[in-house]
Amino acid sequence: MLNGKSVLITGGTGTFGHAMTKAILEQYEPRRLIIFSRDGLKQETMRRTRFPQSCMRWMVGDVRDLRRLHQAFEDVDVIFHAAALKQILACEYNPFEAIKTNVLGSMNVIEAAIAQGVEKVVAISSDKSCQPTNIYGATKMCMERLFVNSTVYIGLGHPTVLGLVRYGNVAGSRGSVVHVFDAQRGTGEVTITDPNMTRFWFTAEEAVRFTLSRLNDLRGGEIFIPKLPSARIADVAEAIAPGCKVRVVGIRPGEKVHETLVAHGERAIDCGSYYIIAPSGSLASLGMGTTEYRSDSNSDWVTVEEIRRWWSEYKDSLQ
């Protein structure tokens, strides 16, 4: 699928970028694998410590810079667009910056990809985009609509197709609550925003595997959504910091108690292990049912033991 291709990952030094780079190099033989991100130091650390392969290319740039994207996307076949400002509180307090990166930056990615004739562009979205209650979620919702409706800017016969994957929190990613609980464990007390809070449970490796598996299914404008187990935040705390006292601090600005991957009113087709939301008016959208897929009403849950086992394996992988 990616053998002999030139592949680029925006935001490639993040958690998803590391996992996607590892998976591509293990499973395929790309002609080039380009890491595009703003931080040259992170790129150098990533290159020196993990990915010295000759097919790797390192490009410093910002998705806000359309001219730089045109340069970066030249002779690129596949793009995974993961660049974003992701921290909810940071976006709440810096809304202009969140819009510049997550919305205008995504618009730039689409424009440059179409202009350069990139074959496929897959954007990484979030459950926060469903019925958003914060700036981050609102910017992700806008990004989704840009990608879904980008087909109106593509003429008949144009080689570029664009779509998205939408999934929940990535366990172990930077800023993940598991790292907070691990840091608090030594104090004997962990802080929880709401003991009833639930989240979808997804690892970086699973996110990459799902994204790659949907690449061949992309026809243009689809949103692919995996079916995931849910986790109770109280169970995560018990798995990471067993026996610690729990202090409830209340939810933060813009935060939800539960998350939604398919909102009420979205027309999604059930494909067994995942859903597809096809662009309105497409043949695939005909006959779709309406469903709602929420973290609190899920039928699949991870246990404390499963989380604890994952945490042990995850920490070992960091050594």
Domain span at 196: 6-234+254-317
Residue 119 lies in a domain: yes
Residue 85 lies in a domain: yes
Helix axes 304-317, 233-240, angle to 10 degrees: 50
198-200 and 230-232 as β-strands: parallel, antiparallel, unpaired?
antiparallel
pLDDT for residue 125? 98
88, 252 Cβ separation under 8 angstroms: yes
129-150 average pLDDT score: 96
Q: To the nearest 10°, the Cα dihedral for 179, 181, 182, 184?
A: 120
Q: How many domains does the chain have?
A: 1
- Which distant-in-sequence residues (6+ apart) come within 8 Å of 43 by Cβ? 12, 13, 35, 37, 58, 60
pLDDT bin (cut points 50, 70, 90) of residue 81 is very high
Q: Closest Cα partner for 240 from 302, 284, 293?
A: 302
Quick one: tokens of 218?
Answer: 């992309």
Residue 200 lies in a domain: yes
| Residue 287 scores a pLDDT above 60 | no
Residue 97 lies in a domain: yes
Point out the catalytic residue in the list 5, 86, 120, 128: 128
| Residue 276 scores a pLDDT above 60 | yes
Residue 160 lies in a domain: yes
Q: What element of type H or E holds 240? A: helix 233-240
Report the mean per-residue pLDDT for the chain: 93
Q: What pLDDT, in 10s, does the model give residues 204-221?
A: 999 999 999 999 999 999
Residue 287 lies in a domain: yes
Residue 246 lies in a domain: no
Cα angle at 107 between 169 and 102, to 5 degrees? 35
Rg (CA), the chain: 19
Q: Is 256 a catalytic residue?
A: no
Q: For position 187, which CATH number holds?
A: 3.40.50.720
Residue 27 lies in a domain: yes
Q: What pLDDT, in 10s, does the model give residues 146-203?
A: 999 998 888 778 899 999 999 988 998 877 899 999 999 999 999 999 999 999 999 9
Q: Would the pTM count as exceeding 0.85?
A: yes
